[in-house]
Chain A
């Protein structure tokens, strides 16, 4: 690890101020960033910790949505969203392992936009809004490509607002080694539409599977997906699965998510 200065502000404002320093970067749970630093793949001059900012933590549930503070851990989401939004809680509860869930945060996961991460699928499939210190960004406009988001360099996610669907389910097929999503499918049924987001599969990161959405909006049943397939050429091919394999998993996981809704 290269050396850096470590700041631990207690308010959002102080954090934003600290982030304006040159070479400053946010650290939330550190569950992604610390391994990256260990391998010397990142070299921030200043790390601004969100660990002491209580206003970034916590979950509030209203009739139609769950708002999660950016620095809320996966474990807290798993616990606090269990009643209001079981699919989100279930997703959080299946990220990594208990120790990772006790540190890793929603904001970190969404800001990082790892192509195999789980939360981006939930955000996209629910039409979530990513709220930052300066603006509100629709999930549809937020995820720009793997490890790429609409966030500006010194912008801080403060919370994420997830609309609660009438029914939803997340199916994750684990990559055998890392246990991240080899393919994850998040299906949300709203009164007027269905949204399907797929993570883990595509070269360009998390995406909405619009064909499936259309078919499911017309008739919400696993059978509606029969014959539908994503474009194999857009899929990732690596030691854990070919494009054909991932294409298949997208269909299988989506079908299973629909069946489980």
Chain B
């Protein structure tokens, strides 16, 4: 067991983990941040995407110890301070970018990462960027629209 410290959603946290504890395990079980989901065991689905030091990563494919002393943002940290939906989240609701909601945390985190790199992504760029996020419900159409909507909102 080792102790890991990180800043998660603006809050300093620490916990005891094993070497094999994945960041996703630490978030879900250690910190009870169950918004981060696990949809596969081969690192393809992206339900687990969070930001570590501002970059989108698959939290199921990173050990918690690798994130020690990092800044981590999860879906629980994406709302505005007053609790209202952030721009990307709101766009997902406005454009019906989610159905069962299981892929949604990862989608939102990937979308936010894309928009932090590129404020004017075209449809093809958005679809390409989502290659590592599988959604079985929406056919992606309204997710793409939501991201376009969020981009417009952010540019305004």
Contacts and interface: CB of A to CB of B under 8 A. Distances in A.
- A and B form one complex: yes
A100 interface: yes
Interface string A1-20: 11111101000000000000
Contact of B131 (A2, A3, A97, A102): A97
Contacts of A37: 20
Contact of B132 (A4, A34, A75, A96): A96
B18 A103 contact: no
B140 to A, nearest CB: 14
Given A6-B20, A99-B46, 9 more contacts: A3-B20, A6-B2, A6-B19, A31-B43, A31-B61, A51-B66, A98-B114, A102-B55, A102-B56
A51 B43 CA distance: 19
Interface residues of B, number: 30
A38 interface: yes
A57 to B, nearest CB: 13
Interface of A: 1-6, 8, 27, 30-31, 34-35, 37-39, 47, 49, 51, 75, 96-100, 102-103, 178-179
A47 B20 CA distance: 10
A240 to B, nearest CB: 15
B41 A38 contact: yes
Interface of B: 2, 18-20, 22, 41-44, 46, 49, 55-58, 60-63, 65-66, 68, 110, 113-114, 129-133
20 contacts: A1-B20, A2-B20, A6-B19, A6-B65, A34-B60, A34-B61, A34-B63, A35-B41, A35-B61, A37-B20, A47-B19, A96-B132, A97-B131, A98-B113, A99-B56, A100-B132, A102-B56, A103-B58, A103-B61, A178-B44
Nearest to B55: A102
A30 B62 CA distance: 7
A14 B140 CA distance: 46
A34 B61 CA distance: 6
Given A5-B19, A35-B43, A47-B19, A97 B133 contact: yes
Nearest to A73: B55
Nearest to A2: B20
Query: 7 closest A-B pairs (Cβ-Cβ)?
Result: A97-B132, A6-B19, A97-B131, A102-B55, A1-B20, A99-B56, A99-B58
Given A4-B20, A6-B63, A97 B46 contact: yes
